[in-house]
Amino acid sequence: DGGKRPDYLSGLNPEQTEAVETLEGPVLVLAGAGTGKTRVLTTRIAHILNTGRAFPSQILAVTFTNKAAREMKERIAVLVGGAVEGMPWLGTFHSIGVKLLRRHAELVGLRSDFTILDTDDVVRLIKQLIQAEGLDDKRWPAKQFAGMIDTWKNKGLGPGDIPEGDARAFANGKGRELYFAYQQRLSTLNACDFGDLLMHPIAIFRKHPDLLKEYHGRFRYILVDEYQDTNTAQYMWLRLLAQRPKGELQNVCCVGDDDQSIYGWRGAEVDNILRFEKDFPGAKVIKLERNYRSTAHILGAAGHLIAHNEGRLGKTLFTDRRDPEDIKVQVHASWDSEEEARAIGEEIEQLQRGDATGKRHLLNDMAILVRASFQMREFEDRFVTLGLNYRVIGGPRFYERLEIRDAMAYFRLVAQPADDLAFERIINTPKRGLGDTTVRALHDYARARDIPMLAAAADMIETDELKPKARKALFDVVQSFRRWQEMLESTPHTELAEQILEESGYTDMWKNDKSADAPTRLENLKELIRSMESFESMRGFLEHVALVMDAEQNENLDAVSIMTLHSAKGLEFDTVFLPGWEEGLFPHQRSLDESGRAGLEEERRLAYVGITRAKHRCHIWFVSNRRIHGLWQSTIPSRFLDELPETHVEVAETEQSYGGYGRGGGYGQSRFDKADPFANSYSTPGWKRAQQNKTDATRDNWGTRSGHAVEHIGYGESGPRGRTIDG
């Protein structure tokens, strides 16, 4: 290009430079965490724009979340020195899919103003179809079929493509028929589901080569971040757009890390990495080995851990980062999760006041990454008590979750019978045949007499204004609330809470729910009961929750981030806290039960993702006891702890840790036990021996079986390529 090298190129290492400057032909950047893959993509786009090779609208760039897309846009603007006028095709697979489909909806029989159905809509629709077929929807639950359709669509399979066995697996062989009927129905409704946002464009491109050609002309450069977590449908879509006729250049660049593939349970295919070189012959494969994010200790710990996985491509990583403090990865033990939250809170406040070198840290530079969303509760509670700002990323805060709000509504109504909002929320949850008509009647009755709705209900069951069925159902509800209210003073509140959820049928509602996120919701409900234990009374607890809910969630506030490991992908923080490293929780029992060795390896990759988010400090925590239903149960330290190398890890001496807990017999043998943390040799990992003594307790704690091939961990944005759609 003649002139002086632009600034944005000067900081790159030779391999990164090559990845940025190889603009023609297919490029695959395969590299470990923190090696600058995302930075390469961003710089590449800046370079394309800056050298005038393409307009912003001629670049197709795929990120994993909408948030990542926004950040990338901002970074590009900085690099090219000024706002970029639009980048319409920068987003998640789904958001780009919507845009394509709006333009060409008529080609698949939709209008451009089609609606996108959410999961609830989809399930309702399927239920109607199942009933219309004369099938028993209890035996063949709509949610289960919705899950099957989602899986098929992730694999790019339409109704005509699904394997015979799959089709037979549902409704006595009616699976395919139902799938056809479902698509037909969507079309009549001028609607599509999430899977269609990819499936329809694929169908359109296949059927209309001219149109595809047009897009080939438009998208001069194609880029994909977090490539290891693409599913088959996404890959098909990508291949259609990126593969060009012989003689034409295929300017496609994908970056990824097989060790960070953590969405296998949602259909991601890490093999797409291997297919890339086959499908794009002559692809230049670039490896980045220098990590710019983490200290040698953090990298060493993560590298040693992930080396325990068999199915990996393998790569080396090094760092030049020298830190004055040279801190190893710290492993902490706590008695229980309450103490864990307290200790992490103290550590955070200590860093705020100043670390060993006197440096003060911002809360913005710290994150707590949990395996399961229920773990967030303890931290949220603690931080509210401390007055420490926090934000929950990628999902609702604990007390804002649907199942928690429902349960809280029951408790509120018992303690405060005039709480009409609570009444309306739960009167027909679970379903009792008290629909809108009944609620409206109750509402009118209550308004006319200026009494609460629960009181109105008690009155109305004495009249004949309601249909007998509704009256009977309402009678049961009123009786139940009377009983619970009487128990309020006499029964321990946790016991009462549990009883309310059982007797109201609320717990059963989720137990009978076949959807993928039901087990997580049940876990959260258990956690809710547990959280009440530290309060004197139901009222005290309700007040506390009102306070927590009131805590500000201000984007601009300096705040600790709390999120699941799954939503932490691609992010980095100076200090990372990783709590709950215990067998059954992490690795999660459900993954082990359902996917065996593959499940374990995916869990281990998740641990690798967690550790590699840290720049300077990585604190791992495990507790010796978890309280389940008011019963203490011993835990076993995660096997991942024993897979960390001694050279990069040390057991932190926190004041409370090694004082007074004995874990009796078999548990005392992990090298992370109190007495002599490093006494055991590596050849016989402590957890293995501990496992020989393992009781069923751990399984019972965490092994909520769902009978479903996938699980859902409560986070929003990081769905399959960003389930939230911006554009």
Sequence-separated (6 or more) residues with CB below 8 Å from residue 355: 325, 361
By CB under 5 A, is residue 417 in contact with Mg ion? no
Count of residues that interact with Mg ion, criterion CB under 5 A: 3
Q: In angstroms, rounded to a whole number, what is the distance separating the alpha carbons of residues 308 and 144?
A: 35
Look at residue 339 and give the partner it binds from Mg ion, ligand ATP, none, a contact being a CB closer than 5 to 8 Å depending on partner kind.
Answer: none
What is the number of alpha carbons within 13 Å of residue 595 lying toward its C-beta?
19
Instruction: Give least dist CB 28 to ligand ATP, A.
Output: 14
Cis peptide upstream of residue 430 (ω within 30 degrees of 0): yes
Instruction: Give least dist CB 255 to Mg ion, A.
Output: 7
For ligand ATP, which is the closer residue by CB, 44 or 526? 44
State which of positions 462-521 bind Mg ion (CB under 5 A): none
By CB under 6 A, is residue 229 in contact with ligand ATP? no
Instruction: Give least dist CB 718 to ligand ATP, A.
Output: 13
State which of positions 240-299 bind ligand ATP (CB under 6 A): 257, 260, 292-293
Residue with tokens 């109305």: 460
Return the residue of 8, 15, 34, 38 that touches Mg ion, per CB under 5 A: 38
Cis peptide upstream of residue 645 (ω within 30 degrees of 0): no
State which of positions 476-515 bind ligand ATP (CB under 6 A): none
674 in a labelled binding site: no
What is the number of alpha carbons within 13 Å of residue 84 lying toward its C-beta?
30
Polymer length in residues for the chain: 727
Which residue number is nearest to ligand ATP in terms of Cβ?
36
232 in a labelled binding site: no
Instruction: Give least dist CB 645 to Mg ion, A.
Output: 25
38 in a labelled binding site: yes
607 in a labelled binding site: no
Return the residue of 15, 16, 473, 494 that touches ligand ATP, per CB under 6 A: 16
Radius of gyration of the chain (CA): 27
Instruction: Give least dist CB 8 to ligand ATP, A.
Output: 10
For ligand ATP, which is the closer residue by CB, 201 or 570? 570
Provide the annotated active-site residues: 37-38, 225-226, 260, 613
The tokens describing 138, both together, are: 């209890």
Sequence-separated (6 or more) residues with CB below 8 Å from residue 418: 452, 454
37 in a labelled binding site: yes
Closest CA to 260 of 10, 497, 606: 606
Return the residue of 20, 37, 573, 706 that touches ligand ATP, per CB under 6 A: 37
**Stretch binding Mg ion (CB under 5 A), from 31-39, 102-110, 438-446, 626-634:** 31-39
- Please list the residues that pair with 116 across neighbouring strands: 192
Instruction: Give least dist CB 609 to ligand ATP, A.
Output: 7
- Please list the residues that pair with 223 across neighbouring strands: 61, 253
175 in a labelled binding site: no
Return the residue of 6, 9, 12, 189 that touches ligand ATP, per CB under 6 A: 12
For ligand ATP, which is the closer residue by CB, 39 or 44? 39
Alpha helices, DSSP H, located in 435-517: 436-449, 453-460, 468-490, 493-503, 506-511
Instruction: Give least dist CB 570 to Mg ion, A.
Output: 4
State which of positions 532-591 bind ligand ATP (CB under 6 A): 570, 572
Return the residue of 35, 65, 531, 638 that touches ligand ATP, per CB under 6 A: 35
**Stretch binding ligand ATP (CB under 6 A), from 28-36, 153-161, 592-600, 648-656:** 28-36
Closest CA to 610 of 266, 225, 305, 228: 305
Return the residue of 8, 26, 30, 38 that touches ligand ATP, per CB under 6 A: 38
For ligand ATP, which is the closer residue by CB, 19 or 167? 19
**Stretch binding ligand ATP (CB under 6 A), from 31-39, 305-313, 360-368, 691-699:** 31-39
Residue with tokens 């492993």: 331
Closest CA to 230 of 193, 183, 198: 198
SS3 94: helix
Return the residue of 8, 15, 39, 538 that touches ligand ATP, per CB under 6 A: 39
Give φ, ψ of 232 to 5 degrees: -60, -45
| Termini Cα distance of the chain | 35
Look at residue 663 and give the partner it binds from ligand ATP, Mg ion, none, a contact being a CB closer than 5 to 8 Å depending on partner kind.
Answer: none
Closest CA to 202 of 157, 148, 252: 157
Cis peptide upstream of residue 587 (ω within 30 degrees of 0): yes
By CB under 5 A, is residue 154 in contact with Mg ion? no
The type of residue at 222 is I
Give φ, ψ of 254 to 5 degrees: -115, 140
Look at residue 228 and give the partner it binds from Mg ion, ligand ATP, none, a contact being a CB closer than 5 to 8 Å depending on partner kind.
Answer: none
Residue 254 Rama label (left phi>0; alpha psi -120 to 50; beta): beta
**Stretch binding ligand ATP (CB under 6 A), from 11-19, 96-104, 409-417, 426-434:** 11-19
Give the x/- contact pattern for Mg ion in 564-603, rule: CB under 5 A: ------x---------------------------------
By CB under 6 A, is residue 407 in contact with ligand ATP? no
127 in a labelled binding site: no
State which of positions 665-724 bind ligand ATP (CB under 6 A): none
DSSP label at residue 264: G
By CB under 6 A, is residue 86 in contact with ligand ATP? no
Look at residue 292 and give the partner it binds from Mg ion, ligand ATP, none, a contact being a CB closer than 5 to 8 Å depending on partner kind.
Answer: ligand ATP
For Mg ion, which is the closer residue by CB, 42 or 151? 42
By CB under 6 A, is residue 313 in contact with ligand ATP? no
By CB under 5 A, is residue 32 in contact with Mg ion? no
Taking the CB of residue 270, how many other CB atoms lie within 10 A of it? Answer: 24
By CB under 5 A, is residue 26 in contact with Mg ion? no
What is the number of alpha carbons within 13 Å of residue 256 lying toward its C-beta?
29
Q: What is the DSSP string of 153-203?
A: HHTT--TTTS-HHHHHTTGGGTHHHHHHHHHHHHHHTTEE-TTHHHHHHHH
Q: In angstroms, rounded to a whole number, what is the distance separating the alpha carbons of residues 510 and 185?
A: 28
- Please list the residues that pair with 28 across neighbouring strands: 254, 285
The tokens describing 632, both together, are: 């203490």
32 in a labelled binding site: yes
Residue with tokens 């007055």: 387
Q: Which residues bind ligand ATP (CB under 6 A)?
A: 11-13, 16, 31, 33-39, 257, 260, 292-293, 570, 572
Q: Which residues bind Mg ion (CB under 5 A)?
A: 37-38, 570
Residues within the annotated binding site?
31-38
Residues within the annotated binding site for ATP?
31-38
